[in-house]
Structures are given as C-alpha cells and as structure tokens.
Structure 1
C-alpha cells in the first residue's frame, strides 16, 4: 500500500471552534485507525493556536450547543491535541505565509507548533495524498 493511501491531510483555515474541532476529530479518527495525519494551520485557525484559545468552546450565538458540548464531556481542542501528540502518528504544521500575514512571527516559537512551512514545502509533502479535508 502506498503512503498516499495511508496518509491523511487536514487543512484548517477557519478559526471557528466547530471547524477546528471537526478537523482535529478527523485527525483523531485517523490515528485511531493507525494512519498518519498531518494538520496544516492557516490564517484564522493559526491565529487560534497562536492565541492559545484551545480550552473553552465558543460557538458564537449558540449557548445551547456550548452547554450540550460541555454536558456531554466532549474533548476540548487541547485534549484532542494531547491525544494526537501521544499517538506518534501526528504532525502539526503552521504556514509561514499566514504567520507573516498575521504579523505574528514573534509568537511562533512559543506557539507549540513544531513545524513551519511555506506553500512549496506543503505541496511537496502532500503530493499524491487522496484523503484531504479542508475546513
């Protein structure tokens, strides 16, 4: 089986909590099945990570969803990340272009994002991957 059939890529652009949660949930399901996953952060998703806004669900204007989310003990973004990190099958990367557009270069080292890449490198790493998700 080729690497592209076992590898999953998630591109996170939106910083909305539900979209980031969905992306990390896809990644968690991927590692649970023994497959490698790479999550790439762009723009507002990257900003959420740079701001360390990973603990409190914030579903804008949907307190009912927030209450249900918490009552059911659904994992926070930070909890999903911890699970992914523990798997040994997960790579988290930030886009250097988005980092520059946000003017956040000074926060990159403290962000906890271990890998920083531009689009050329991202395209090389993800070439041939058929399982891609864009959120």
Structure 2
C-alpha cells in the first residue's frame, strides 16, 4: 500500500513584536538568510515592530544608551533594517504582513502599501497561513 507523504513546509516565519532596533534587525537578518538560501520567508509585524515600520524608522540604528554599537554598525557597514528588507523583497521570496489588531491598538487603519506592508491579517488568518511551519522565530 502506497502512502502519499507531503513535503515539509520549507518556509521560515518571523514574528516581530518588539520595535527595538536589534530585534527587528535580527528578524530581518533571519528572513534575509532564508531567502538567500532559496526559502520563502514571511515576516509578521505586531505592536512596536509594526509601529517602527509605520513610522518609517528603518535606516538609523538606535541602540538606546549604546552609542558604541551604533558607531560599530556604521564603521563595519552593517546593513540597515531597510537594506535587509530590500534584499528580502528583491528575491521575490519574502512577504511582510501587518497585524490588523495591533494596527487598531496603535490607532491606525489598514491601507494597501503602508510602509511596504504586503498584506494585513488578523490572528485567525495568521494561524492558518503559518500552520505546519517548523522554522518560527519570535522576537
């Protein structure tokens, strides 16, 4: 008797809640590594991470109280959040999604194209889209 075995879901999913620069940078670094390896990457933005994107604070590293890290980022020419996001987008393998509940809590309304966000979803849709994905990162 032959059994049909489905291939494992090869996507990488990153859930970003914190808007701190280091966490958002790390999440997009994970997504950039995934797409560089030919895998699909989905980045979901909640609360303060979503706010960072809506406020377009993607270029300047801001490590509160750690100016030495900011200087090191610049001297080593480390990519900004925006540069990482552009890499993910250029491959065609990345999706940036915003949470409608978080947007509502922040006082906004979902609009197509807000800060480059590809789609707006609530938790029911997010859970459906990410079901079966084993490579999940929460930051």
Which TM-score bucket, shorter chain as reference?
A: over 0.9
Q: Map residues 45-124 of structure 1 onto 2, 5 A cutoff.
A: 45-105=49-109, 109-124=113-128
Structure 2 distance, partners of 1:87, 1:38, is 13
CA distances 1:5-41 after superposition (whole Å, capped 9, x unpaired): x111000000000000000000000001110010000
Once the two structures are superposed, what CA deviation does each residue of 1:21-69 show, in whole Å capped at 9, x if it has no partner? 0000000000011100100000000000000000000001000000001
Q: Which blocks of at least 5 consecutive residues in structure 2 are unaligned?
A: 1-5
TM-superposed CA distance for 1:110, in Å, is 3.4
Where does structure 1 lack aligned partners over 5 or more consecutive residues? none
Q: Normalization by structure 2: what TM-score?
A: 0.92
Most deviating of 110-119 and 73-82: 110-119
Matching of residue 34 in structure 1 with residue 49 in structure 2: no
The structure where helix makes up a greater share of residues is 1
Work out the CA distance in 2 between the residues paired with 1:106 and 1:31: 26
Distance between the aligned counterparts of 2:114 and 2:49, measured in 1? 16
Q: What CA distance in whole angstroms lies between the structure 2 residues aligned with 1:102 and 1:62?
A: 27
Say which one has the larger Rg.
2
Aligned pair count reads 134
Q: Residues 120 and 106 (structure 1 numbering): CA distance in 2 closer, same or farther, change over 3 Å?
A: closer
- Alignment partners' CA distance in 1, 2:37 and 2:110: 37
Q: TM-score, normalised by structure 1?
A: 0.95
